[in-house]
Amino acid sequence: DRTTMKELELSSEELGLALQYSPTPGVPQLVSFLNSLQQREHAKDLNVNIANSNIKNSREENNYLPSQPSPEWNYDVSVTVGSQDGLCKAFEMLLDPFSQDDELFVESPTYPGALGFLRPYGCKLIPVPIDEHGIQPEQLSKLLQESSSSHSSSY
């Protein structure tokens, strides 16, 4: 809807930064802003006392948190350049390339782009039937009970 569109203006420094490769987690200023947003918007859900934390309201103070979240938070934000990049980062966090025991439960059928990364990675892929609502929970439960792996993940 063109009536709600706004023009984005970037300084030459911001444009230069936007057109460069960035660190793996993303452009530090964007990661910092997203961490601040996550903390501000989801603090109520995580029972964190904002008054006693280092969370700043970026709208009022125009001052974002450092790229690392405060000790009250057990997560961090990573910005990816696309779905393949995001999937690869997630798989690298969940799977051990040196383990002969890793299992990954995948939708059947699944996204073939993910298989391109997973097959050479060496984990055991366990297909889980899906229907119009997604993975069938009773089938996933049955497969998990039958699993002999000490380390399983689901995609």
Query: Per-residue pLDDT tens for 13-56?
Result: 888 877 777 667 777 888 888 888 887 877 655 544 444 444 44
Burial class (CB in 10 A: 0-12, 13-18, 19+), 125: middle
At 98 the pLDDT is 81
Q: Is 82 left (phi over 0), alpha (psi -120 to 50) or beta?
A: left
**Span of 46-50, 62-66, 72-76 with lowest mean pLDDT:** 62-66
Cis link prior to 66 (omega < 30° from 0)? no
Other Cβ atoms within 10 Å of 84 Cβ, number: 14
CA 86 – CA 155 distance, rounded (Å): 12
Segment 50-77 mean pLDDT: 49
Q: How sure is the predictor about 151, in pLDDT bands with cuts at 50, 70 and 90?
A: confident
Instruction: Give the CA distances from residue 133 to residues 4, 109, 136, in Å, rounded to whole numbers and listed in that order.
Output: 33, 13, 8
Q: What pTM does this model have?
A: 0.58
